[in-house]
Amino acid sequence: MNRFLRILAPLAAGLLLAGPAGAQAPATGAQAAPATGVRSLDAIVAVVNDEAIPQSELDARTRVAAAQLRRQKIQLPPDAVLRRQVLERIIVERAQLQLARETGVRVDDATVNAAMGRIAEQNGVSLQQFRERLEKEGVSFGRFRSEVRDDIILSRLRDREVDSRVQVTDGELENFLAAQTGVAAGSVEYNISQILLRVPDNASTERIDTTRRQAEALVMQIRGGADFARLAASSSNAPEALQGGSLGWRSADRLPSLFLDAIKDLKPGELAPLVRSPGGFHILKLDGRRDATQGKLATGAVDQTRARHILLRVSDITPEADVRRRLSDLRQRVVTGGQDFGQLARLHSVDSTATRGGDLGWLYPGDTVPEFEKAMAQLKPGEVSLPVQSPFGWHLIQVLERRTEESPVERNKMAARMALRERKAEEAYLEWLRQLRDRTYVEYRLDEA
C-alpha cells in the first residue's frame, strides 16, 4: 500500500499545479468541439490488445507529466517526444490493468476511501478540502478516485505476480548477515539516476547492436554536457523516466547487484560504464552518496513497546470531525468508564488487528509511522492517547508494557530477509513488466504517437 501512495502523493501535487489538465480538460487540435456545438469523436491514439486509448487521455496525462517535469526543474523534451513517453506508460499501465481484470484482482470502495483520505492528509488538507482543490483546478474528483483505485490494483497485482514468488534462501540470509557483522560507521546510501534503453525478448543481434549504439550516443551527449534528466525524460524506457530517471536514495541492499557493482566506486556526478541486463542497456549516474549507519542492523540493546490501538478512517459518510468525536468518546469510556480497551477495539476498529483487540504485539523503533511512534513514546503503560492522526487514519493508542531486548537476533534476521526480498522483488518486477510489455499487442493509430 505504501508503494502506490509514494507514487500518488506527487501525482496529486502535480495535478494541483497543472491547472485544468485533469480528466475533464478540453481536447485540443483535431479534437476541439466545432463552433456549431456538435462534438467530434475522440480520436484513438493506440489500441492495447482490444482496448483503445483516446487522444483526450493522452492529452491530459501529457499536461500532467509536463507540469511534474517543470516542478522538478527538468527541461521538457519536444512535445512529440514527451507524448510518446507518456503514451508508452499508459500502454504498460493498461496492459497490467487488463491482466488484473482477467485474473480477478479487485479493490472495494472502503479501501479506495481510506487511500483517498491518506493522500489528502499527505497534501496537508482534509478530504473535502482536497476535493474542492481538485475541482477548483478543473480536475475531476471521480477520475482521480478512479486512478487511485487503479494504482491499488496495480500494487496488488505486483504483490501477487512478483513479490509472492520471491524467495530468500537460508544461504543468502546467512551471507547477508555475515556481511553486516562489524560493518564500520560510514556505510553508504547511493542516490542514482538511470536511463534504460529496453531490448525485447528474443531480439536479433542487429537490434541489440542498434540499441547499444543508441545508448553509447546518449553517453557521449551526457559527457558533452547534455542534461541527464532531460535525456531520461525523452529517451528512457524505465518507469521513473518522467522523474528525470531518478531512483532516489537507496542503500546497497536495495540496489540490483549489477547497479551496485557499476556505481560503488564512482564519485558523485560520474557516469558508470554502460550496464547490460536482461532488460536492455542502462546508463547510470551517481548523483550522491551519504552515510547510512542508522540503517544498519542493531547490535546492542533495543527498547520494545507492546501496544494496541483502535483505528477509524475518514470517509464520505464519516467526516473527520465525526471520527475524532467517536474516538474521544471511546477514550472516555476506557479512562473514566473503566471499559476494556480490547473489547472496544473488537467492536469499533477498522484495522485488521481488531479481531485480537487491537493488539500490535511487541514493536521495535521504526515499526510504526512517525506520528504513531511519537504519540506512543509519550505514554506510560496503561495510558491511552488522545486521538492521533497518521497516514492510515485516526488512532487511539494504549501502551500495555515495555521491555529491553538485549540481543535482537531474530529481529535482525527478519530485517535482513525483508531487505533481500525487496532487492530481489525490484529486479523481478522490472523483468516481469518487460515480459508483459513484450507479449502485449499494441497498434499505434497516430504517426506522432
Looking at the fold, whether 16 and 115 belong to one and the same domain comes out as yes
Q: What distance, in Å, lies between the first and last C-alpha atoms of the chain?
A: 33
The residue ranking higher by pLDDT, 320 or 252, is 320
Same domain (yes/no): 6, 150: yes
- Whether the predicted pLDDT of 20 surpasses 50: no
pLDDT for the residue numbered 187: 62
Q: How far apart are CA 392 and CA 63, in angstroms?
A: 30
DSSP 89: H
* Same domain for 19 and 132: yes
Based on the fold, state whether residues 115 and 84 are members of the same structural domain: yes
Shared domain for 290 and 306, answered yes or no, is no
Residues 6+ apart with CB under 8 A from 438: 200, 201
Asked whether residue 211 carries a pLDDT value surpassing 90, the answer given is yes
Angle between helices 141-161 and 109-122 (to 10 degrees): 110
Residue 179 lies in a domain: no
What's the confidence (pLDDT) of residue 2? 43
- In-domain check, residue 277: yes
188 vs 237, residue with greater confidence? 237
- CA-CA distance, 251 to 187, in Å (whole number)? 9
Flag whether pLDDT at 256 surpasses 70. Answer: yes
Residue numbers of the domain that contains 7: 2-29+41-161
pTM of the model: 0.61
171, part of any domain: no
Per residue in 52-83, pLDDT tens? Answer: 999 999 998 898 889 888 888 888 889 999 99
Q: What is the pLDDT of residue 334?
A: 95
Percent of the chain with pLDDT over 90: 43
Asked whether residue 375 is assigned to any structural domain, the reply reads yes
| 187 or 190: which leads in pLDDT | 190
Examine residue 414 and state whether it is found in any structural domain, yes or no.
Answer: no
Instruction: State whether 61 and 206 are in the same domain.
Output: no
- Residue-level pLDDT at 338: 92
The answer to whether residues 157 and 78 belong to one domain is yes
Q: Is the pLDDT of residue 28 over 50?
A: no
Q: What is the pLDDT of residue 18?
A: 42
Q: What is d(CA 88, CA 97) in angstroms, rounded to the nearest whole number?
A: 14
Asked if residues 391 and 121 have their Cβ atoms less than 8 Å apart, the reply is yes
Distance between CA 25 and CA 363 in Å, rounded?
47
Contacts 24+ apart (CB under 8 A), 17-21: 17/67, 17/71, 18/63, 18/64, 18/66, 18/67, 18/68, 18/137, 18/139, 19/67, 19/137, 19/138, 20/137, 20/138, 20/139, 21/60, 21/63, 21/64, 21/67, 21/138, 21/139
Mean pLDDT of the chain: 82
- Please tell me whether residue 354 adopts helix, strand or coil conformation: helix
- CATH number of the domain at 333, please: 3.10.50.40
Distance CA 343, CA 352 (A): 14
Pairwise CA distance, residues 86 & 186, whole Å:
40
**Lowest-pLDDT choice from 247-261, 295-309, 360-374:** 295-309
> β-strands 302-312, 388-390: how paired?
unpaired
pLDDT band at 224 (very low <50, low <70, confident <90, very high): very high
In a shared domain, residues 269 and 327:
no
For residues 22 and 97, membership in a common domain is answered with: yes
376 inside domain: yes
CATH number of the structural domain spanning residue 122: 1.10.4030.10
Spatial neighbors of 29 by CB under 8 A, at least 6 apart, are: none
From the centroid of its chain, how far is CA 111?
A: 16
Same domain, 54 and 154: yes
Does residue 268 sit within a domain? yes
In a shared domain, residues 272 and 388: no
What is the percentage of the chain residues whose pLDDT exceeds 70?
A: 83
| 262 shares its domain with 351 | no
* Residue 63: all three cell numbers together: 499536461
Give 311-365 pLDDT, tens digit per residue. 998 876 778 889 999 999 999 999 999 999 999 999 999 888 999 999 999 888 8
Does residue 88 have a pLDDT over 50? yes
Q: Which three cell numbers stand for residue 147?
A: 486512478
What confidence tier does 140 reach under pLDDT thresholds 50, 70, 90? Answer: confident
Give a yes or no: residue 262 inside a domain: yes
pLDDT at 5 over 80: no
Overall number of domains in the chain = 3
User: What pLDDT was estimated at residue 92?
Assistant: 93
Of residues 225 and 295, which shows the higher confidence score?
225
